[in-house]
Amino acid sequence: MRRDVSSDFIKKLDVEKLSKLTYIPENRIIGAIERKTLQYVHAKPELFRFDKPISNIEAGTSVFLEPFDIVRGFPKISRILMLHPGVAKHFSTIKTVLVEEKMNGYNVRVALIGDRILGITRGGYVCPYTTDKINDVISGDFFIDFPDLVLCGEMVGPDNPYVPKSFYDIESLEFFAFDIREKITGRPLPVMKRRELLAGYGIKSVRLFGEFEVSETHIKVEKIIRDFGKTLNEGVVIKDPDMQLSPIKYTSSQSNCADLRYAFEFYNDYGRDFFFPRVCREAFQSVEWDEDDTQRKERCHRLGESILLPMTRTIENRKKGERIGEIVQIRIKDLKTADDFQDHLRLLGIDAIFEEPISIGNEFIIKIKKINHSTSDKTDSVFKGEMWS
Ligand code: ATP
Ligand code: MG
């Protein structure tokens, strides 16, 4: 039975062409479809997405069917926990690096497929809301000149249905580019070439802090992060100017704790994966920055509060009978986008309640409550006296 369903999907895909372009043998592609590692997405436009990496093709790669096209997934960026000697070791074969701001929103790849400019999220889905917004904020001229390039960037701002908290001074939702890559190969453009090209089309780039000698970058980055102070700026991404070596990321304690505060509000939905690596980051940063007793205690305090305050608040709210969920909002011109976005969330398996649209000028704001069932259920079970495990 399962084989029949799979073969229906396979018929839609030009397996031979995909194999030629990705160097994945045809039988592996077919096997991946059967195992759903290469997943058919029944939406408009129809596509297949790589749920996991296969050979050297990243998870999140999308394969469009009509017209046939491939947009490579956005590669993972490794993290260093100690600037020294992490930076020097990773970039030992080059002289200087460029340091860009790491912005905190959601990753989107923007590509021209057929005659439409689409917003593709990290997992390789086309998001109807992002697509709508991106067509508002960037000029299509870029794609007239470069139909085979993909703009990669962060969607940032308060009208953000995926990463709700935003501290940047942005009215709705904006796109900040941090990469331009070739559609099919995923090959990136050199950093300065990319920034100049984008400026020519009026497309915003993430902030550039400067070009630094590799040997002094750890000192410069420490200063940049310290200068963020109590703001929630997330961190930096350190890049080879030619983009031959892969970039690395380094983040601030403030943003680390903000992530924890968010995750522990929905402790049984996110808490576990968030917890351990973030504690390790705090420990290494504290040692590298040579903190004295007072500074270290302050860090402990911040870390502890980021975990226990949101969690106790959640438990209390549930005790009062509240449904645990996060509230996000979208801002749209056409109510149809909200319907499409609702279908999209359903496709992702997210349970969400859409409130009545609030009309503002020629736009609508819709608040969306995403329900975190796992946290509610776990809390209830503890209230009923059930064992934790
Ligand atoms: P990973 O990229 O390792 O899968 P993740 O999904 O948890 O990790 P983050 O820890 O947020 O993501 O770090 C990587 C992400 O940072 C990128 O996917 C991108 O969306 C975002 N980002 C923000 N600013 C930049 C920038 N200047 N250069 C590259 N990526 C950036
Ligand atoms: Mg991020």
Given this model, what pLDDT does residue 2 score? 45
Q: Which domain holds residue 352?
A: 325-371
Ligand 1 mutation target, pool 249, 255, 278, most atoms within 8 A of CB? 249
Structural domain count of the chain: 4
Nearest ligand (C-alpha, residue 108) = 1
Given this model, what pLDDT does residue 162 score? 94
Tens place of pLDDT for every residue, the chain, 389 residues?
444 445 677 788 999 999 999 999 999 999 999 999 999 999 999 999 999 999 999 999 999 999 999 999 999 999 999 999 999 999 999 999 999 999 999 999 999 999 999 999 999 999 999 999 999 989 899 999 999 999 999 999 999 999 877 788 999 999 999 999 999 999 999 999 999 999 999 999 999 999 999 999 999 999 999 999 888 899 999 999 999 999 999 999 999 999 999 999 999 998 788 899 999 999 999 999 999 999 999 999 999 999 999 999 999 999 999 999 999 999 999 999 999 999 999 999 999 999 999 999 999 999 999 999 999 999 999 999 999 98
Given this model, what pLDDT does residue 6 score? 52
Neighbouring CB atoms inside 10 A of 43's CB total 14
Domain of residue 25, CATH code: 3.10.450
What type of residue is 325? G
Structural contact between residues 277 and 227, judged by C-beta atoms closer than 8 angstroms: no
Given this model, what pLDDT does residue 272 score? 82
- Is the same domain home to 151 and 234? yes
Given this model, what pLDDT does residue 165 score? 74
Nearest ligand (C-alpha, residue 100) = 1
Q: Is there a domain that residue 88 lies in? A: yes
* Ligand 2 center from residue 163 Cα (angstroms): 9
- Is the same domain home to 365 and 223? no
Cα–Cα distance list, 135 to 117, 139, 179, 197, 356 (Å):
7, 7, 18, 19, 25
- For atom 27 of ligand 1, which residue has the closest CA? 102
- Is the same domain home to 102 and 135? yes
Given this model, what pLDDT does residue 7 score? 62
Given this model, what pLDDT does residue 50 score? 98
What type of residue is 96? T
Task: Classify the C-alpha dihedral 308-166-141-247 as positive or negative.
Answer: negative
- Is the same domain home to 194 and 167? yes
Per the structure block, which two tokens stand in for 109?
A: 């790849």
Given this model, what pLDDT does residue 123 score? 97
- Is the same domain home to 150 and 215? yes
* Ligand 1 center from residue 74 Cα (angstroms): 9
* Ligand 1 center from residue 319 Cα (angstroms): 36
Ligand 1 is surrounded, with C-beta below 6 A, by: 74, 76-77, 100-103, 107, 154, 178, 206, 237, 249
Given this model, what pLDDT does residue 1 score? 40
What per-residue string of b and e applies to 159-181 under the rule 16 or more CB within 10 Å gives b?
bbbbbeebeeeeebbbbbbbbbb
- Is the same domain home to 247 and 259? no
Q: Is there a domain that residue 379 lies in? A: no
Ligand 1 mutation target, pool 58, 74, 98, 102, most atoms within 8 A of CB? 102
